[in-house]
């Protein structure tokens, strides 16, 4: 979908934003949920300069490579580069999406869109999508655990299961109940001696 063809709308347009510095199942689920909200999905890939300004670091993959990776997934109908200037929103003004779909973790973007949405002309509906295994498939977790023989997702899952097992083990401890108030052999002996004296 080019800027010219944006005038001929292909139905309900959904737009998403992201860095997409490598693709995992969380991204695929995000794309599929967004796709289901309309007829035409536009994925806007954040340029390197904006990633650096917002995250204080550069993505591992260059912009052209990230666009190519996303196109290979064949979920989005169009994959385009985002604005070079933070807060300009030219892509929104040009393509005029009916819906902007956000990930559960894009809270800052949601706040900024809510603040700036009046400048878009036709105000798009903003929808926050459901997370997909956020404790395992978030990019920051996968990248942190990418080294080693176990994948980031698997290692995170193993860690969670191990922690849960350890907590359960700590909580389940045998409870030693007192028997007739007798705690030691000495007390037991004295108890029987007292019982014998009272019987006599």
Q: Per-residue pLDDT tens for 120-164? A: 877 899 999 999 776 654 444 444 544 443 343 443 343 334 334
Mean pLDDT of 34-52: 97
Do 95 and 151 lie in one domain? The reply is no
- Is 88 contained in some domain? yes
* pLDDT above 70 (res 72): yes
Please count the structural domains in the chain: 2
Do 102 and 19 lie in one domain? The reply is yes
Do 39 and 110 lie in one domain? The reply is yes
* pLDDT above 90 (res 11): yes
Containing structural domain, residue 168: 145-200
Q: Please give the structure tokens belonging to residue 199.
A: 């019987």
Do 119 and 161 lie in one domain? The reply is no
Do 74 and 113 lie in one domain? The reply is yes
pLDDT band at 9 (very low <50, low <70, confident <90, very high): confident
- Is 138 contained in some domain? no
User: What is the structure's pLDDT at 58?
Assistant: 95
Do 38 and 103 lie in one domain? The reply is yes
Do 27 and 114 lie in one domain? The reply is yes
Distance, CA of 129 to CA of 131 (rounded, Å): 7
Beta bridge partners of 13: 40
Helices (H), 74-138: 90-95, 107-116, 134-137
Q: Which residues are within 8 A (CB) of 31 and not within 5 positions of it... i.e. 6 or more apart?
A: 16, 41, 43, 73, 75, 76
Do 116 and 166 lie in one domain? The reply is no
Distance, CA of 102 to CA of 41 (rounded, Å): 13
Do 109 and 166 lie in one domain? The reply is no
Do 127 and 149 lie in one domain? The reply is no
Do 10 and 32 lie in one domain? The reply is yes
pTM: 0.66
User: What is the structure's pLDDT at 146?
Assistant: 46
Do 77 and 17 lie in one domain? The reply is yes
């Amino acid at each position: 979908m080019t800027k010219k063809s944006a005038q001929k709308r292909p139905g309900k347009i959904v737009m998403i934003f992201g860095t997409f510095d490598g693709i995992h199942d969380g991204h695929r689920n995000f794309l599929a949920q967004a796709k289901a909200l309309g007829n035409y999905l536009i994925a806007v890939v954040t340029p390197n300069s904006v990633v650096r300004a917002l995250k204080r670091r550069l993505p591992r993959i260059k912009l052209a490579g990230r666009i190519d990776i996303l196109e290979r997934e064949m979920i989005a109908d169009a994959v385009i580069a985002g604005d070079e200037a933070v807060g300009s929103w030219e892509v929104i003004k040009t393509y005029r999406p009916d819906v902007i779909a956000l990930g559960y973790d894009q809270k800052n973007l949601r706040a900024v869109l809510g603040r700036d949405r009046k400048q878009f002309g036709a105000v798009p509906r903003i929808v926050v999508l459901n997370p997909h295994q956020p404790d395992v498939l978030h990019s920051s977790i996968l990248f942190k655990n990418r080294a080693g023989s176990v994948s980031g997702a698997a290692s995170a899952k193993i860690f969670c299961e191990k922690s849960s097992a350890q907590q359960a083990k700590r909580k389940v401890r045998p409870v030693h109940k007192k028997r007739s108030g007798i705690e030691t052999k000495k007390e037991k002996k004295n108890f029987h001696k007292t019982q014998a004296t009272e019987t006599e």
